[in-house]
Amino acid sequence: MQATVSGPATSTSAQIQAPAPSTSISTRVEPSAEDATAYFYLCLADTVQLALQRYPHDTGRIQRAAELVRQGHVRLIPDEKLAEVKSSTGRFSYLVSGQCQCKDFQRAPGGKCKHRYGVSLLRRTLKMLAKMAVYTHHVA
Ligand SMILES: [Zn+2]
């Protein structure tokens, strides 16, 4: 009588334990959207640091450019090697390639206005992110 009672009890506990390891593996492989966003901001912060070291005379423009990227105001148009950059208020947008349509483009040293800085910051951030994604995928 006791053997028939303990029999089903052990089999159900085995069934409960079985799915646990497989679900923990599948959640590890795919990085979540939150991770991707965190990586983006990490790479952006690194890129901004490098730009500040390289162009110490342009701290203000670089910081405003970083803000444009954070606000999602910089949009790359890959097929035409163009980028569209919205002004900080979002009321205007500029088409940026080798040059920019803003007034600061005429004044800025080397024509590096905040819009052009914004485009290069985003491009470098995405490159860094792509390398990082390969690396994390390889580790996982
Ligand atoms: Zn500009």
More confident residue, 115 or 21: 115
Ligand 1 centre distance from Cα of residue 66 (Å): 13
C-alpha dihedral sign at 68, 102, 98, 53: negative
- Residues less than 5 Å from ion ligand 1, measured at CB: 100, 102, 105, 113, 115
**CA 9 to ligand 1 centroid distance, Å:** 72
Per-residue pLDDT band for 131 (boundaries 50, 70, 90) equals confident
Global confidence as pTM: 0.73
Among left, alpha and beta (phi > 0; psi -120 to 50; other), residue 45 is alpha
- Any domain includes 8: no
pLDDT tens figures, 103-114: 999 999 999 999
Q: Distance from the CA of 109 to the center of ligand 1, in angstroms?
A: 12
Per-residue pLDDT at 21 exceeds 70? no
In a domain, 20, yes or no: no
Looking at residue 135, its pLDDT comes to 64
| 16, part of any domain | no
CA of 97 to the centre of ligand 1 (A): 10
> Has residue 115 been placed in a domain?
yes
Residues 6+ apart with CB under 8 A from 86: 68, 71, 73, 74, 92, 93, 94
Q: What separation in Å is there between the alpha carbon of 78 and the centre of ligand 1?
A: 19
Q: Which CB contacts under 8 angstroms, 24+ apart, belong to 105-110? A: 108/58, 108/61, 109/57, 109/58
Q: Tell me whether residue 96 is in a domain.
A: yes
Number of domains the chain is built from: 1
Q: What is the pLDDT of residues 51-96, one digit of tens each?
A: 999 999 999 999 999 999 999 999 999 888 899 999 989 899 999 9
How far is the centre of ligand 1, averaged over its atoms, from the C-alpha of 45 (Å)? 21
Q: Is 45 inside any structural domain? A: yes
Is residue 49 included in any domain, yes or no? yes
Rounded to whole angstroms, the Cα distance separating 83 from 75 reads: 6
d(CA 99, ligand 1 centre) in Å: 8
Lowest mean pLDDT among 5-9, 43-47, 86-90: 5-9
Average pLDDT in the chain:
81
Q: Which CB contacts under 8 angstroms, 24+ apart, belong to 69-75? A: 69/44, 69/118, 69/121, 69/122, 69/125, 70/41, 70/44, 73/118, 74/115, 74/118, 74/119, 74/121, 74/122
What's the pLDDT score for residue 14? 43
Domain of residue 76, residue span: 30-139
**Within a domain: 18:** no
Query: What is the Å distance from ligand 1's center to 58 Cα?
Result: 14
